[in-house]
Chain A
Amino acid sequence: MKLKEVDRTAMQAWSPAQNHPIYLATGTSAQQLDATFSTNASLEIFELDLSDPSLDMKSCATFSSSHRYHKLIWGPYKMDSKGDVSGVLIAGGENGNIILYDPSKIIAGDKEVVIAQNDKHTGPVRALDVNIFQTNLVASGANESEIYIWDLNNFATPMTPGAKTQPPEDISCIAWNRQVQHILASASPSGRATVWDLRKNEPIIKVSDHSNRMHCSGLAWHPDIATQMVLASEDDRLPVIQMWDLRFASSPLRVLENHARGILAIAWSMADPELLLSCGKDAKILCSNPNTGEVLYELPTNTQWCFDIQWCPRNPAVLSAASFDGRISVYSIMGGSTDGLRQKQVDKLSSSFGNLDPFGTGQPLPPLQIPQQTAQHSIVLPLKKPPKWIRRPVGASFSFGGKLVTFENVRMPSHQGAEQQQQQHHVFISQVVTEKEFLSRSDQLQQAVQSQGFINYCQKKIDASQTEFEKNVWSFLKVNFEDDSRGKYLELLGYRKEDLGKKIALALNKVDGADVHIKEEKEESEFLPSSGGTFNISVSGDIDGLITQALLTGNFESAVDLCLHDNRMADAIILAIAGGQELLARTQKKYFAKSQSKITRLITAVVMKNWKEIVESCDLKNWREALAAVLTYAKPDEFSALCDLLGTRLENEGDSPLQTQACLCYICAGNVEKLVACWTKAQDGSHPLSLQDLIEKVVILRKAVQLTQAMDTSTVGVLLAAKMSQYANLLAAQGSIAAALAFLPDNTNQPNIVQLRDRLCRAQGEPVAGHESPKIPYEKQQLPKGRPGPVGHHQMPRVQTQQYYPHGENPPPPGFIMHGNVNPNAAGQLPTSPGHMHTQVPPYPQPQRPQNGWNDPPALNRVPKKKKMPENFMPPVPITSPIMNPLGDPQSQMLQQQPSPPIPLSSQSSFPQPHLSGGQPFHGIQQPLGQTGMPPSFSKPNIEGAPGAPIGNTFQHVQSLPTKKITKKPIPDEHLILKTTFEDLIQRCLSSATDPQTKRKLDDASKRLEFLYDKLREQTLSPTITSGLHSIARSIETRNYSEGLTMHTHIVSTSNFSETSAFMPVLKVVLTQANKLGV
């Protein structure tokens, strides 16, 4: 697809690869005159701006030159890595001159842009090339077999590569070798190419096919292979490109005959050695693979010849071609549509006209018809073969559960050189663990929950607390699990009952007088009514009289009112007591309304039992006192609400230190949701460890609430749910799937939690009930239905699968420690062969962990060391550390950010499936090539499990074993024949076998065939295997054991080894024995 064009009849040179942005320099061609026959010459620099969709190239600078050019190149001389200095433009002129320009000065618009000039050559300088190893070295070629090597640091005196070739001829091309810096090649229209060794200062080889019809217009070295080069011929009688290998210089290695007429220029891509551009007098621009001769691409061009063609060094998909019609065109070889481009122009037009009805005719303009010719060319296909630079060779992607999927394609060079390379294709799945402390604390929390050791846990937390507040919080939490929790709370608030008793006693002693006084009063009051003497019942008009009258009429209420009015509080209260509960209450109220003492309100609350009042209106500085009062007096049913209320006030009205104290109130209240809210407000809860801080408290508090208040805590608030799922997500991201599941709240319908739970369950490999009903039906009606197809994944047809399995059965590399979910050996074995599962368990170190998933150890301990690897290095470095490192192991701490060792998962291996003989361990044969460097010590059969096999998940499977055993299913009827046939055969063999060794073998075989029967019961064998087994059974019945053995071999070689490894080898033993014994 054409990207840009410039109307110039010019030689062209791209800026070096280091340069950004990309420039294209053009220098007026000496050989062609443009349509104006102008003899003016100029050197111009354009910028390739791909973000501009137009075809125009942005001109950066024009320099009017007195020269016209035969050749123009742009070398990276003295360029720094950032590309700040733009290198040097080297031009070959008409009269033996070579001119060096400074492109940065041209761009800057300076007048003095020539760095140096030398006209030592004879005739036009048609050939120039910069040495890519020493960018100060430039080779040039001109007439009379002249070749000079210029040192840009010392431009005055060139060197020669050796004596001039005879007879004298024009040098049309010159090229430095791409691999060996002192090798140079030159070629001339006469057809000969000469290779020079600058160290020897002489030509070392001459390349010619003796046809005398090669007319060299192009010469290029292979970018990768030092001894190969191509020559292009301009002769219409021999329009070919010859590929030569100097090691076999008698004839061309390959001849590309894709052009119909002479070739004018070639260019070999440095980014992909399989791409060679050529343009010829047949007006074609082709891109071919010189290593095969195949034409990969034909550029859509006009009918004009191109005389120069160049790859853009920086952008490998871009090339430029200069044609005789006076145009330089920039193309992309990736194809693409120019529709958008043109559409853009159309859009631009219509937007300029305002709308589709620019002339107000009431008729919108008809849509613009793009002319037929352009429509034909609007879609340009890309190269037939994808270029090297778009083939992504590596990748690493995260997936759920902190797993990292990585792949790489490592080339293993073999002896035959680059053409025959073996590639290793592996995909690795590894566990990434970065939050070690987080996981270990989470683990501790789980243990505490599991062992119900809450008090200990809280105590540890108290001891480890860094701040007073933290300590308080944990102390409060701890109290929840102790007897007399309210009393303990009071103590924590600074009110010990004993202390208080002492204090009161002390106070009473001090104010002894008052005490006496009270007594006296009492005595007085007792004395008065009981004095026995007469007293005057005054019914006068004063207050006393009125009270008397009221009392006499039994009107307590009025009497009390009168007393209150007269401020006779004691009288009022006493009368009120006599007047009944209701009156008393009212009187108390009135009393408190009148009384102004500091502690009145407290007394009020105590007497009226109105704690809400206290909590609602106390000074927040006295929150402790208020909380203490509530702890002392509040009834169980109102206690929580009051604590809550106080907490809410602290949170809403208090300053920030008080706000955090609200947490304590919520703990007393057992209000998890509010604790979460308050904590989240006060703390930065987003870091894993601070989330851990919160979750620890929440989990403990929930447990406390469960224990003490016997409340249903299964309902989970929105915020807590959010935090819990965030926490579970974090755990999952560190690979602790089981722990994540354990922490997720159970009974909630909140969608995010339900989703996460489902995801976690499935990630553990457990099928989830109801998964057959996706929420959104997806074109069910479109797809064939009712096929008697297999149901589960494990019953998928397994055609073409054999070559992919072997690696799956490889034992992991020595020292390879696997994490919970990524154990290749566990997969086939666990669910399907319950009979022998127990044998797997004992070898693993099992610390005192409960086996319910709460305590799946975090994977972090087992993260092996991983270094930067050399490119051809495959296996992970073996680790020698024990599987269960103690926490805090310095090595694993240091390595916590490293990924765990990958599991090779070959999708393309072509290793032959080994034929198994007699239950031999098969390891080693199938080791991926790259692993041959491993110590060969690891050769245990799979059955025994790998070292460091999964702990978490295995436990779950182990747990479920007993039930599985009990409910062993019957073998399906159609397969029962297999069992009877095989057992019958073994019996027959046993009866005719004589030596004890054979009998032992057969006994063993009989036992091991149980695995087969188990698989039949579970119906986990693929149809191909079962049908194969039936064929074997049939051949046993006809006593054709050799046919049975052939069938056996066939099954083994076409099936998944993990499916068959448990029983196929013994079946072979039985068949062989039967054949031998002739039973």
Chain B
Amino acid sequence: MNHDAQMDYYGTHLATCSSDRSVKIFDVRNGGQILIADLRGHEGPVWQVAWAHTMYGNILGSCSYDRKVIIWREENGTWEKSHEHVRHDSSVNSVCWAPHDYGLILACGSSDGAISLLMYTGEGQWEVKKINNAHTIGCNAVSWAPAVVPGSLIDQPSGQKPNYIKRFASGGCDNLIKLWKEEEDGQWKEEQKLEAHSDWVRDVAWDPSIGLPTSTIASCSQDGHVFIWTCDDASGNTWSPKLLHKFSDVVWHVSWSITANILAVSRLFSQEELQMQPQIDHLP
């Protein structure tokens, strides 16, 4: 049973993961499908895979019920395990790479309620920061905010490097969406708590489009609701939910298109439905 399928940065390689504990990588260039790696290392079903940005080489993160996060890496055409992160006490349900501007940082959400941040510090070393008890009885999803200072396309960049604020969103079994922000001292702090779902938040997806004054997050839940959260103010404090749709049963996954004007919503039996976003039609 497949649990995730993700294309790499170029859309030429497909990574899948399955309850048979495998992570597979296919070359899908020109519509072909050549299995180029069958990665073994997990001892339980593998829930999610995530490709790092291509500037770091071919790197894939995977997370599993076995409580492990594995970083896989291709070197000279061979995929191998590069790092194993074993600091979670329960199923790791979600992995998401930070925008490449920050370096190699992988956020991992686990059923132990914690979120860990795995940071590559060079020379094969990874540093772990852990947010304990982020979501009671489990974090189901993590999603990074794009690496922009809000409104950067509107006010023309003056050339100097913008002061990025690292943020990500998480959703969990406490029915909450939480927004986390890195403080100046490098510690992660809960910045916002978004409440609208009445059951487990299954997935959150931060709108990847950059340079717009509005931040947008999509969330979906066991309760069948899909919400679109928007925040207009620069401080990032006021988020308002808008119910996009109410389905009759659990919604498992939400995914924005690269240009973020389309949201794919996944639930069982009608495998995906594409929804144009009326309220963000003006976005590019």
Contact = CB atoms under 8 A, between A and B. Distances in A.
Interface residues of B, number: 104
A827 B34 contact: yes
A596 interface: no
A341 B136 CA distance: 10
B239 interface: no
Interface in B230-280: 252-253, 255-259, 261-262, 264-272, 274, 276
Nearest to B112: A336
A386 interface: yes
A227 to B, nearest CB: 26
A425 B258 contact: no
Given A334-B90, A899-B274, A808 B77 contact: no
B66 to A, nearest CB: 10
A898 to B, nearest CB: 7
B282 interface: yes
A793 B36 contact: yes
Interface string A805-836: 10110000000001001111111101000000
A427 B140 CA distance: 22
Interface in B1-57: 1-12, 14, 16, 18-20, 24, 26-38, 44-45, 47, 54-57
Contacts of A808: 32-34
Contacts of B122: 779
B111 A425 contact: no
B1 A3 contact: no
A380 B213 CA distance: 44
A301 to B, nearest CB: 18
Contact of A687 (B20, B113, B202, B282): B282
B182 interface: no
Given A394-B253, A398-B258, A733-B258, A423 B1 contact: yes
Contact of A765 (B29, B173, B256): B29
Nearest to B193: A51
Interface string A936-961: 00000000000000100100000000
B30 A399 contact: no
Interface stretch (A71-79, A770-778, A912-920, A1063-1071): A770-778
B30 A427 contact: no
Contacts, number: 330
A871 B269 contact: yes
B24 A827 contact: no
B123 A782 contact: yes
B10 A402 contact: no
Nearest to B133: A340
Given A793-B77, A818-B31, A405 B5 contact: yes
Contacts of A905: 14, 26, 28, 33
B75 A783 contact: yes
B284 interface: yes
Contacts of B265: 396
Given A793-B77, A905-B33, A318 B137 contact: yes
A429 B137 contact: no
Interface in A771-805: 774-776, 778-785, 787, 789-798, 800-801, 804-805
A968 interface: no
Contacts of A792: 77
| B20, B77, B156, B252: most-surrounded residue (chain A CB, <10 A) | B77
A398 B256 contact: yes
Interface residues of A, number: 120
Nearest to B55: A775
B38 A800 contact: yes
B61 interface: no
B176 interface: yes
B266 A394 contact: yes
A379 B87 CA distance: 11
| A400, A759, A897: most-surrounded residue (chain B CB, <10 A) | A400
A394 B12 contact: no
B252 to A, nearest CB: 5
A20 interface: yes
Given A778-B73, A789-B77, A763 B11 contact: yes
A392 B252 contact: yes
Given A382-B111, A759-B9, A684 B282 contact: yes
B138 interface: yes
Contacts of A824: 31-33
A337 B252 CA distance: 26
Nearest to A766: B29
A401 B257 CA distance: 9
Nearest to B270: A868
Contact of B77 (A315, A432, A795): A795
A395 interface: yes
Interface in B48-85: 54-57, 59, 65, 67, 73, 75-78, 80, 82
A298 to B, nearest CB: 15
B220 to A, nearest CB: 11
B35 A805 contact: yes
Contacts of A1029: none
A391 B1 contact: yes
A796 B223 CA distance: 45
Given A317-B173, A334-B91, A953-B30, A3 B136 contact: yes
B215 interface: no
A908 B31 contact: no
Interface string A844-882: 000000000000000000000000110100000000000
B18 A908 contact: yes
A339 interface: yes
Nearest to A344: B133
Nearest to A809: B33
A31 interface: no
A739 to B, nearest CB: 15
A398 B10 contact: no
A733 B90 contact: no
Contacts of A386: 19, 44-45, 65, 91
Contact of B284 (A53, A726, A953): A726
Contacts of B137: 1, 3, 50, 315, 317-318, 332, 334, 336
B45 A427 contact: no
B132 A340 contact: yes
A881 B67 CA distance: 50
B198 A793 contact: no
| A393, A399, A869, A898: most-surrounded residue (chain B CB, <10 A) | A399
A120 B93 CA distance: 52
A907 B26 CA distance: 9
Contacts of A793: 27, 34, 36, 77
B28 A776 contact: no
A392 B3 contact: yes
B55 A774 contact: yes
B2 A425 contact: yes
| B16, B153, B257, B269: most-surrounded residue (chain A CB, <10 A) | B257
Interface string A82-115: 0000000000000000000000000000000000
| B32, B33, B56, B193: most-surrounded residue (chain A CB, <10 A) | B33
B281 interface: yes
A372 interface: no
Interface stretch (A124-132, A406-414, A492-500): A406-414
B191 interface: no
A686 B260 CA distance: 12
Given A684-B282, A781-B123, A907-B18, 9 more contacts: A335-B112, A386-B44, A396-B265, A399-B7, A406-B266, A687-B282, A780-B75, A821-B31, A905-B33
10 contacts: A382-B91, A390-B111, A391-B1, A393-B1, A398-B262, A400-B10, A405-B5, A796-B36, A807-B33, A821-B30
In the A-B complex, the 3 residue pairs with the smallest Cβ-Cβ separation, listed nearest first, are A827-B32, A340-B132, A399-B7
Interface of B: 1-12, 14, 16, 18-20, 24, 26-38, 44-45, 47, 54-57, 59, 65, 67, 73, 75-78, 80, 82, 89-91, 93, 104, 110-114, 120, 122-124, 132-133, 136-138, 140, 153, 156, 173-176, 193, 198-200, 202, 223, 252-253, 255-259, 261-262, 264-272, 274, 276, 281-284
